Chain A
C-alpha cells in the first residue's frame, strides 16, 4: 500500500500514467478492430521516410510541445496563462510568408527574400508579441489573461492584414542543396523535421534550466513575487523574460505549422493551440497557480494530448466531435488533482479503516 502511495506521489506520475493509459486504449482498440496489438508502436520505413503511429504522434505533437515550454515558464512565473500563443503563431507565420513572398502576392514559386530573413522575421515577431504581453503583465500589473486577451483577438487580425486577406502559398520545394520552405514541416533524411526542432528546443531549455539559476528564480518569483524581489531578484524583468520566451516559442511553432502546409492560412494556423498548450501544462502535473514547475511533465503532457487526438481519429471519431472527449478528460484530470476531492477520498478511506477496525474488534 505504501509503495503504491509512493509511486502515486511522484512528480511525473500523472502525465506518465495518462500516457500509459492512452497507449493501453490504443492496444485494446487495435485488438478490437482485428489488428496486431502492438501496431501503435510499430515503426517502419516507407520511401525512405519513417512511418508509424508513434512517429505521427511525435511529429504532430511538436507544435504543442514547443508551446508548452514557454507556457510552463509563464504559468510558473506569473500564475496566469498566455492565451495569445495560438494567434501569435498565426501572426508570425503570416509575417514570415509575407516577407518571403512579398506583400499582396498569393502564390509564389521563388523567394522574394532569402529564407533566413523570413525565419528571423518570424522569430522576431514572436519575441515582440511576447515582450508586449510581458510588459503589460510585469510592469503594469495586468492579470495575464486580460493582458494576453488583447493579442488573442488582435494578432490573427493583424496577420490577415499582412497577408492582405489571402492565403499565401510558398511553393518552393527542397531539392538537393537548395532549401525550400517546406523544410521545417517536412523531413530531414528519414526523420520529420518538427521532431528535431522540438527536441532541440527542449534540449536548449533543459540545459538552461540545469546550468543556470533561471529556473529556480522563475519558481521563486512564482511562489512569492514580493519576497523574491526583496531577496534581490528582479521579479519584473524575470516575468518579462518568461513572456518573451513564450512568444519566441510561439514564433517557432508558427513557423513549423505554416511550413507543414507551405502556406500562411491566418484563420486556421494555431487555432485552439493555446488551449492545448495550457492543457499540456495542467496534464504535466503543474499547478496553474504558479510556483514550482516541471518541464518534463509538460512535454509528456503535450505528446499525451496528441496521442489522445490521434487515437480518436484512429477510432473513427471526427475532428469536430473529438473535443467532447477532450473536455471530459480535462475535467476528470483536474477533479482528481483538486485538493477538496483528495480530502474527500482521504476521509472516506479513514472511515473505511475505522469501520474495518471496529469489525475486527467486535469479532
Chain B
C-alpha cells in the first residue's frame, strides 16, 4: 500500500542523487526559501501554526507555537537537533544523508520566521556521512548565495554552522545539546529557565527544532498549511517517519500517515515477524518508551494520544520489535545498560541508579538472582521515577534516568514470569546466592 510522501518523496524518486544541489533545485528546491525571505515573522509563524506541524524529536509540541514563544531579545539562535542517538532511531540520518538541501532550506525558512541570523546543526558524533553530506550541501548553498551575507540577493544574512558532537546520547536533550555546542560538558541544564526560547544558546533566545520537523517546512510553504493538515485525520498533521527495527522482515525507515494501527505497521508496513515467529513485544517510541504487547496494544492506533493513554509514547518514532525467541530479561538489561552508559552523571539517582538496575539485571541473567531482586528492581526504579507512572515523576534533572526505568517497569509488568524463571533456575536458587558471582568467588 502506498502512502503519500512528503519528506522522503525526493529520495524515493531520485535515489542516486537526491542529495545534490542540482537535483534539489530541479525538483523545486529553494523556491520556498526564496518566498519566505519576503514574508514576515507573523505570516510564517501563523502558517506553520495553521499547518499543525508537531515537533518530531519526541515531544510532539506544536512547531509554530514554539516559534511564537521566542523571546524578543537579540541575538537569537536557531539550533537544529541532529543528535539522533536513541537506540532504534535512524530517521534523521536518512534525511541528512539523502536530502540535506531540504534541511538547509527548512533552516532558512525557520531562521527567517524567527528573525535569526546564526544557525547551527548539531549532529551526533557517530554520523560522519550525514555530517559530510550536510556540510557539502551547506557549502553549495553558501556558494550560491543561499547562505551567508545577503541571501538570495536580499539584505538578509544567515550563517549556518554544522557541528559534530562527541558521542554522547544525552546531547540529544536540548539543553545538554546547547551546553555541548557552547563547549561545555554535555549535561542537561537546570530548570528554570524552562525553555530555550527564553534562554538557550549562550543564554539567548533559541529555537531548537528536530531535523524531520525542519524538513517539513519547505513543503508547508510550497503547498500550504491546509494541504499539510489535510494529510492526516488526527491533530497530529502531515506524515511522520518511523524507524522500524528488530525481528521484522522489512526493517527500515518509513514515512507514514497518522492513524494506522500497530498491526498495520508491524505486519503490513514492516512485512511481519521474521521466520513466521510470534510477536512478543515492541518498544513503541524509542528505547525510553514503556513496551507494548500484542494482547493489549496490537490494534490500537499509532498516535501520540493513543500511546499516552496506554502509558507510553510515540516519541521519536522508533519501534523495536521483539519476537518470541527474545529473552526479555536480556532485552531489558541491554536497554538499561544503554542508559547507564549514557547517563551524564550529574544527578545521583540516575548516575547510581541506572547502573545499579543494570547490575541487578546482569546478575539475574548470570544465574545469581534472588527472590528479593524483583522488589529491589522496582524500588530502585521507584527512587528514580517516583510511583513508576507515566509520564514519569522524576527525581532527576532530565528524563534520562526515568528512561532506564521504562524497560524495568515493562519487564516486571508484562514478563514477571520470565524474571522469576531466571531466578528459579539460578544455581543457588532459594538462597541468598548473591555472593557467588558478585564478589567473584565462584
Query: Do these two chains interact?
Result: no
